[in-house]
Chains A and B, each alone.
Chain A
Amino acid sequence: MTAETGIGARVKRKEDQRFLTGTGRYVDDLPLARATYAYFLRSPHAHAKIKSIDTGAAKAMPGVVEIFTGKDTADAKVGGLICGWVVKGKDGQPHKAPPHPVMALDTVRYVGDTVAMVVANSADEARDAAEAIKVDYEVKPANVDLAKAFDKGTPEVHAEAPGNLIYDWEIGVKADVDAAFAKAAHVTKLDLVNNRLIPNAMEPRAAAAEYDKGTGNYTLWSTSQNPHVLRLILSAFVLGIPEHKLRVIAPDVGGGFGSKIFCYNEETMVTWAASRVGRPIKWTAERAESFMTDAHGRDHVTHAELALDKDGKFLGLKVDTIANMGAYLSTFSTAVPTYLYATLLAGQYTTPVIHANVRAALTHTAPVDAYRGAGRPEATFVIESIVSKAAAELKMDPAELRRKNFIPADAFPYQTPVALQYDSGNYPPIIDEAMKMADYKGFESRRAEAKSRGKLRGIGFSSYIEACGLGPSRVIGQLGGGVGQWESAQIKFNPTGNVQILTGAHSHGQSHETTFAQLVSDKLGVPIENVEVVHGDTATTPFGMGSYGSRSLAVGGSAIMKAADKVIAKGKKIAAHLMEADVADVVFEQGTFKVAGTDKNVPLGAAVFAAYVPHNYPLEELEPGMDENAFYDPSNFVYPAGTQICEVEVDPETGVVEVVNHTAVDDFGNIINPMIVEGQVHGGIVQGVGQALMENAVYDKETGQLVSGSYMDYTMPRADDVPSFKLGNKVTPCPHNPLGVKGCGEAGAIAAPAAVMNAVHDALAPLGVTHVPMPATPQTVWQAIHGGK
């Protein structure tokens, strides 16, 4: 369309009006007549046998409608929650898959495990009654320390997974890597813990369900990133409600970051119980419940070694990782530390041989699954930490060592030794730009100036690659993924010429309502105010896979472009009829069909009107209406890449780390709305800075109590913890999708932890400090400076 609203324009968001005026509609905002309210009683123990549950007194409390326990769900033969990605271990066997009941049966396995569901006339009454339920627990020793999960004598979480091992998996040829190490001039070794995080979308998870007795239809409103997938899981595996009798609506959703991809106990129970109670049921998590029961992220213990030749060329990388799964396997948990982690270990480098061994462990903690970046931040942290450590050991400039090993621009498509084939990229100009923007040359004088103020200044690099927009579906299936990875789109014109785009993707902050409207406005020449994006309702939108893994534009946007092509193709036939021209002579330019070399033209709106009022229309060869849908299955992943440079100042007296400068230069391919893309990067960086300096999900190693279970204990980044950022971008268009786009949603969070931690290490290097664990809190940094005193 016009330059103001087309591809590349900083179009202000369509969604803002409702969010700024308090008229957004989140799940908890729904007015449901005669609603009841659910409250879940949760286990206070990490590991205990349930000897008995007495709900007698609670049932007599005011306002109580019904109380359900695990026995009720077992009696009703409610299925367990599933893990949707089968990872095969070294032994060729599928991973261990212990049962995941929606309500605990005879054993609780983490603090927060679901024990009973109270349904009452008000949320307060439900909570009051839950306090009156008497549960007799026999407390047992808990397995909490990930590093010891496989040790002999560690309590087992499930009998179905002996020794707490879910799988022992590898990628790469170990013998080749060993041979490379035998020739190495230098080997850098690194032990690290990738700290456990709690996603903390600002809107707590919520669910509301209603059952219509007359039709037998269920409606579930859920804070979901992927309502169709949620419906599929509930229908096919858990509740057995046929898909066509279950409508799932994800209305406005207040952030997800991965944590709202999964199928959880609570939405399952609310749906199941709605027909039994005969009234709608609403549930909204308290923040304490979010801390305890949202799927957590990261949590790896890793040993890595990098072999280099005498010139600093990487010869090989070996990585050994234990990944925490928590007490039950969440929906996509198994894929995160394998296909989304180890396949990324080449990073931006030509490392010729790589071997990774990953063992997934059960512990008596909350389930762990995808969180913004999902595996790729963990991979980037390993690579970028060990590369910077190697540079320090070899007394090389960290940028120079990276540059020496970058995959050259003429090597694409580039086959890595860990399965992925990078489609496009050009890394050296990115780091050059980042260094220029960060004034790398001036750093030593800033370091000296900081020293004069008693501060230790450091600078750190992180050059990341990510694989997102997963696909093709065939490959995902070969790797064990249980779902397709295509996306759907429908472009539905109304007779008066305005348009609805129905997408299977879901926006929970990413601004699809604006970006997708820009695509269609630009491509079809319809004013953007006449384009509306519809998403998040299984009754109105085509089946779609939802939003996660930075896929919405690369996959969902591509589906929209395919549907738009169909609109144009059909419009050409209508216009040819109206202009009495040959279809082959009709061209489409800026919203108008024309016959080349003549002044004949038909605006798209006129063709659409003719399609709905087909009085002068080729009915014998063309159906009426203008309503086109498309499914797009990607032919490869997309590979965004970039470099972040972080500059910190450390106060050696207190251990406080301040991020003083942070620069990010990214290659996201073509950009539709730079304003929105920049916003995604800002938010991602702060989540990465949070992981590096503040956030840590801590369980007491003896009792398994979640120590960091509130905003007073789990340090969320606040406005004064971070600076404003410098962002730049370089473009190598993706060669295999119609828009040439890559993903931007996770990049900030993927790159930032290593950039920050490398800067902290650089700052402390003059004191002889070689290792600071993440998060680098004041206490941790102070201890590193003072030798663990």
Chain B
Amino acid sequence: MTINVAMTVNGKAASGKVEARTLLVQFLREHLGLTGTHVGCDTSQCGACVVHLDGKSIKSCTILAVQAEGGKVTTIEGLAESAEKLHPMQEAFRENHALQCGFCTPGMVMSAIDMVKRHNYQLDEATVRRELEGNLCRCTGYHNIVKAILAAAPAMKSAGV
């Protein structure tokens, strides 16, 4: 049985026919070709699949596509204003060498943006480390990810994003 779903993804209307069991991440990757959102595990532990749904970070492997019906989804592809002007969090990741293989990066960036906003742009190292509990990285040892997020918080505030 297929079901029609419709939502807004990165500011554009998106719709498709999915199976009831289709996960949001499958809809994004396989139906819309938005392969920036990754799948790194099958137990909702690694956070490679984090996207924003109606402004909040969620694990897109743990929600059905039909549950996002009518919602506003932002993925890593929808963050930057342009190729030249990245989101301050993306810029901070680049400046601080907060990524190596790049696989966890989209989920890290999406989680980090939500984290900064939830803490009203005020973060310290211990908070950042605690808040990253839902995202695994095997390359960076987290050192530079933490640095990047701490640097991005004031940059996001002054950019008004």
Interface residues of A (CB under 8 A from B): 12-13, 15-26, 28-29, 31, 124, 200-204, 252-255, 257, 284, 286-288, 508-511, 675-676, 678-679, 682-687, 710-712, 716-720, 722, 724-725, 748
Q: Which of B36-73 contact A (CB under 8 A)?
A: 36-43, 45-46, 48
In the complex, chain B residues whose CB is within 8 Å of the CB of A684: 141
Q: Which of B100-134 contact A (CB under 8 A)?
A: 100-106, 109, 125-126, 128-130, 132-133
In the complex, chain A residues whose CB is within 8 Å of the CB of B152: none
Asked if B156 is at the interface (CB within 8 A of a chain A CB), the reply is: no
Q: Are B103 and A203 in contact, CB atoms less than 8 angstroms apart?
A: yes
Pull 24 A–B residue pairs with CB atoms less than 8 Å apart, ordered by A. Answer: A20-B105, A20-B109, A21-B77, A22-B34, A22-B37, A22-B76, A22-B106, A26-B38, A124-B19, A202-B46, A202-B103, A203-B103, A252-B101, A257-B138, A509-B139, A675-B97, A682-B140, A682-B141, A682-B144, A683-B139, A683-B140, A710-B43, A712-B45, A724-B143
CA distance A22 to B77 in the complex (A): 5
Q: Are A21 and B129 in contact, CB atoms less than 8 angstroms apart?
A: no
CA distance A510 to B101 in the complex (A): 7
Q: Are B99 and A22 in contact, CB atoms less than 8 angstroms apart?
A: no
Query: Which of A23, A288, A679 lies in contact with B100, CB distance below 8 A?
Result: A679
In the complex, chain B residues whose CB is within 8 Å of the CB of A257: 138
Asked if B146 is at the interface (CB within 8 A of a chain A CB), the reply is: yes
CA distance A253 to B129 in the complex (A): 26
Q: Are B94 and A20 in contact, CB atoms less than 8 angstroms apart?
A: yes
CA distance A202 to B136 in the complex (A): 8
Q: Are A719 and B101 in contact, CB atoms less than 8 angstroms apart?
A: no
Given A23-B77, A255-B101, A711-B41: A718 in contact with B140 (beta carbons within 8 A): no
In the complex, chain B residues whose CB is within 8 Å of the CB of A31: 33
CA distance A686 to B95 in the complex (A): 21
Given A12-B95, A725-B143: A711 in contact with B138 (beta carbons within 8 A): no
In the complex, chain A residues whose CB is within 8 Å of the CB of B128: 719
CA distance A234 to B21 in the complex (A): 37
CA distance A685 to B140 in the complex (A): 9
CA distance A31 to B135 in the complex (A): 27
Query: Which of B38, B75, B143 lies in contact with A682, CB distance below 8 A?
Result: B143
Q: How far is the CB of A140 from chain B (nearest CB, A)?
A: 29
Q: How far is the CB of A307 from chain B (nearest CB, A)?
A: 37
Query: Which of B45, B76, B142, B146 lies in contact with A711, CB distance below 8 A?
Result: B45
In the complex, chain A residues whose CB is within 8 Å of the CB of B40: 202-204, 287
Q: Are B133 and A21 in contact, CB atoms less than 8 angstroms apart?
A: no
Given A682-B143, A720-B130: A287 in contact with B41 (beta carbons within 8 A): yes
Q: How far is the CB of A673 from chain B (nearest CB, A)?
A: 9
Majority DSSP secondary structure for residues of A touching B: loop
Q: How far is the CB of A782 from chain B (nearest CB, A)?
A: 23
Known contacts A254-B102, A679-B139; 4 further A-B pairs (Cβ under 8 A): A20-B99, A21-B80, A254-B38, A710-B42
Asked if B145 is at the interface (CB within 8 A of a chain A CB), the reply is: yes
Asked if B35 is at the interface (CB within 8 A of a chain A CB), the reply is: yes
Q: Which residue of B lies closest to A288 (CB)?
A: B42
Q: Are A510 and B100 in contact, CB atoms less than 8 angstroms apart?
A: yes
CA distance A612 to B52 in the complex (A): 51
In the complex, chain B residues whose CB is within 8 Å of the CB of A20: 76, 80, 86, 90, 93-94, 99, 102, 105, 109
Given A711-B46, A720-B130: A201 in contact with B101 (beta carbons within 8 A): yes
Q: Are A21 and B83 in contact, CB atoms less than 8 angstroms apart?
A: yes
Q: How far is the CB of A43 from chain B (nearest CB, A)?
A: 19
Q: Which residue of B lies closest to A15 (CB)?
A: B102
Q: Are B83 and A255 in contact, CB atoms less than 8 angstroms apart?
A: no
CA distance A111 to B133 in the complex (A): 30
In the complex, chain A residues whose CB is within 8 Å of the CB of B146: 719, 724
Asked if B137 is at the interface (CB within 8 A of a chain A CB), the reply is: yes
Q: Which residue of B lies closest to A255 (CB)?
A: B101
CA distance A720 to B125 in the complex (A): 9
Q: Which residue of A lies closest to B22 (CB)?
A: A124
In the complex, chain B residues whose CB is within 8 Å of the CB of A202: 38, 40, 46, 48, 101, 103-104, 136-139
CA distance A511 to B147 in the complex (A): 19
In the complex, chain A residues whose CB is within 8 Å of the CB of B126: 720
Could you say which of A687, A712, A718, A724 has the most chain B C-beta atoms within 10 Å of its C-beta? A718
Q: Which residue of B lies closest to A718 (CB)?
A: B133
Q: How far is the CB of A350 from chain B (nearest CB, A)?
A: 33
Q: Are A679 and B144 in contact, CB atoms less than 8 angstroms apart?
A: yes
Q: How far is the CB of A729 from chain B (nearest CB, A)?
A: 16
In the complex, chain B residues whose CB is within 8 Å of the CB of A722: 141-143
Q: Are B103 and A16 in contact, CB atoms less than 8 angstroms apart?
A: no
Q: Which residue of A lies closest to B132 (CB)?
A: A719
Q: How far is the CB of B93 from chain A (nearest CB, A)?
A: 6
CA distance A203 to B40 in the complex (A): 6
Given A288-B42, A724-B143: A21 in contact with B136 (beta carbons within 8 A): no
CA distance A675 to B96 in the complex (A): 8
Q: How far is the CB of A506 from chain B (nearest CB, A)?
A: 12
Could you say which of A204, A676, A682 has the most chain B C-beta atoms within 10 Å of its C-beta? A682
Q: How far is the CB of A401 from chain B (nearest CB, A)?
A: 29
Q: How far is the CB of B143 from chain A (nearest CB, A)?
A: 4
Q: Are B43 and A712 in contact, CB atoms less than 8 angstroms apart?
A: yes
Q: How far is the CB of B119 from chain A (nearest CB, A)?
A: 15
6 A-B pairs with least C-beta separation: A22-B36, A254-B103, A19-B102, A509-B101, A682-B141, A711-B45
Query: Which of A23, A253, A718, A724 lies in contact with B36, CB distance below 8 A?
Result: A23
Q: How far is the CB of A92 from chain B (nearest CB, A)?
A: 41
CA distance A724 to B55 in the complex (A): 30
In the complex, chain B residues whose CB is within 8 Å of the CB of A288: 42
Q: How far is the CB of B132 from chain A (nearest CB, A)?
A: 4
Q: Are B99 and A286 in contact, CB atoms less than 8 angstroms apart?
A: no
CA distance A487 to B84 in the complex (A): 36
CA distance A286 to B45 in the complex (A): 13
In the complex, chain A residues whose CB is within 8 Å of the CB of B46: 202, 287, 711
Q: Are A24 and B102 in contact, CB atoms less than 8 angstroms apart?
A: yes
CA distance A676 to B103 in the complex (A): 17
CA distance A228 to B93 in the complex (A): 32
CA distance A756 to B45 in the complex (A): 26
Q: Which residue of B lies closest to A200 (CB)?
A: B138
In the complex, chain B residues whose CB is within 8 Å of the CB of A676: 97
CA distance A287 to B95 in the complex (A): 31
CA distance A31 to B32 in the complex (A): 11
CA distance A135 to B104 in the complex (A): 37
Q: How far is the CB of B25 from chain A (nearest CB, A)?
A: 11
CA distance A748 to B101 in the complex (A): 17
Q: Which residue of A lies closest to B89 (CB)?
A: A20
Could you say which of B33, B128, B130, B139 has the most chain A C-beta atoms within 10 Å of its C-beta? B139
Q: How far is the CB of A288 from chain B (nearest CB, A)?
A: 6
Q: Are B45 and A719 in contact, CB atoms less than 8 angstroms apart?
A: no
Q: Are B141 and A725 in contact, CB atoms less than 8 angstroms apart?
A: yes
In the complex, chain A residues whose CB is within 8 Å of the CB of B19: 124
Query: Which of A18, A24, A719 lies in contact with B129, CB distance below 8 A?
Result: A719
In the complex, chain B residues whose CB is within 8 Å of the CB of A204: 39-40
In the complex, chain B residues whose CB is within 8 Å of the CB of A22: 34-37, 75-77, 106
Q: How far is the CB of B98 from chain A (nearest CB, A)?
A: 9
CA distance A673 to B58 in the complex (A): 36
Q: Are B76 and A21 in contact, CB atoms less than 8 angstroms apart?
A: yes
Query: Which of A16, A682, A720 lies in contact with B99, CB distance below 8 A?
Result: A16
Q: Are B100 and A685 in contact, CB atoms less than 8 angstroms apart?
A: no
Q: Which residue of A lies closest to B19 (CB)?
A: A124
Q: Are A203 and B38 in contact, CB atoms less than 8 angstroms apart?
A: yes
Q: Which residue of B lies closest to A679 (CB)?
A: B97
Q: Are B100 and A683 in contact, CB atoms less than 8 angstroms apart?
A: yes
CA distance A24 to B77 in the complex (A): 11
Q: Are A16 and B94 in contact, CB atoms less than 8 angstroms apart?
A: yes
Q: Which residue of B lies closest to A286 (CB)?
A: B42
Q: Are A511 and B136 in contact, CB atoms less than 8 angstroms apart?
A: no
CA distance A12 to B96 in the complex (A): 8
CA distance A124 to B41 in the complex (A): 16
